[in-house]
Amino acid sequence: MDYQGHADGSAKAYSLEEHGPSFQLSPHFRLIEFASRDGADTVLVHPALIDALEAIREHFGKPVHINSGYRTKSHNRAIRGSRNSRHTMGLAADIDVRGVHPDTVADFAETLQPGGLGRYHTFTHVDVEGVSRRWDER
Ligand SMILES: [Zn+2]
């Protein structure tokens, strides 16, 4: 998987209406899975984020569920996300892997790339900002 190769580019912008919700971004992820939960048409997704999630999918051999991918700034404010959240740039996803403990998911995600990693009780935050920020909210 090609994380480093994508690390410097910016997120790509997709349109739910133009591409369709089922637009396949990669073998296991569709556009709608990354969409802002406020129903915005534009969806920002960084290719390196998709690569990271595919690597997690491949490693565990189980579906990766995206609780929160891209967030518009207003949606991020509404759910009280942190200011300048990587989610608003298409660089982050909060995920859980069916049947796998979040600690185990985080331990593997930590080996992938130099992006940010947040540990939570029920999910794992993965981002591809290129700075190794680590935090623990368990
Ligand atoms: Zn997050």
Is 6 within a domain? no
- Report the pLDDT value the prediction gives residue 4, as an integer from 0 to 100: 41
- Report the pLDDT value the prediction gives residue 3, as an integer from 0 to 100: 40
d(CA 57, CA 127): 15
Is 23 within a domain? yes
Distance 120 CA to ligand 1 centre (A): 10
Question: Per DSSP, what are the bridge partners of residue 97?
Answer: 64
Is 4 within a domain? no
Is 5 within a domain? no
- pTM value surpassing 0.85: yes
Each of the 138 residues of the chain gets a pLDDT tens digit; together they read: 334 444 456 899 999 999 999 999 999 999 999 999 999 999 999 999 999 999 999 999 999 999 999 999 999 999 999 988 999 999 999 999 999 999 999 999 999 877 899 999 999 999 997 778 889 999
Distance 6 CA to ligand 1 centre (A): 20
Looking at this protein, which amino acid is placed at residue 112?
Answer: L
- Cα 82–chain centre separation: 15
Which residue segment(s) compose the domain that 75 sits in? 12-136
> How many structural domains does the chain have?
1
Is 3 within a domain? no
Distance 35 CA to ligand 1 centre (A): 14
- Report the pLDDT value the prediction gives residue 1, as an integer from 0 to 100: 38
| CATH code of the domain containing 18 | 3.30.1380.10
Distance 19 CA to ligand 1 centre (A): 25
Looking at this protein, which amino acid is placed at residue 111?
Answer: T
